[in-house]
Amino acid sequence: MKFGHILTVSLTLFAIIDILGSIPILLTLRQKLGHIHSEKATLVSAGIMILFLFVGESILKLIGIDTGSFALAGAIVIFIIAMEMILGIEFMKSNPEEETGSIVPIAFPLIAGAGTLTTLISLKAEYSTWEIIIGIIVNLLFVYLVLKNTGRLEKLFGKAGIGVLRRVFGVLLLAIAIKLFKNNLFSGLSAETLSMLAG
Write the pLDDT tens digit of every residue in 67-95: 677 777 777 877 887 787 788 776 655 55
* Residue 108 near residue 44 (C-beta atoms within 8 A): yes
The answer for 108, left when phi > 0, alpha when psi is -120 to 50, beta otherwise, is beta
pTM of the model: 0.69
**H/E run at residue 17:** helix 3-17
**Exposure b/e, 35-47, CB count within 10 A at least 16 = b:** ebbbeebbebbbe
Give pLDDT, residue 92.
56
* Residue 136 near residue 45 (C-beta atoms within 8 A): no
What proportion of the chain, given as a percentage, has pLDDT over 70?
80
In sequence order, the 6+-apart residues with CB closer than 8 A to the CB of 50 are: 133, 136
State pLDDT tens for residues 138-179. 999 999 999 998 878 778 877 788 778 778 877 877 887 788
Is the model's pLDDT at 60 over the cut of 80? no
**Exposure b/e, 7-34, CB count within 10 A at least 16 = b:** ebbbbbbbbbbbbbbbbebbeebbeeee
User: Average pLDDT in the 119-144 region?
Assistant: 93
Is the model's pLDDT at 51 over the cut of 90? yes
Number of neighbouring beta carbons within 10 Å of residue 89 = 9
Residues 96 and 29: their CA atoms lie apart, in Å, by 9
Is the model's pLDDT at 27 over the cut of 90? no
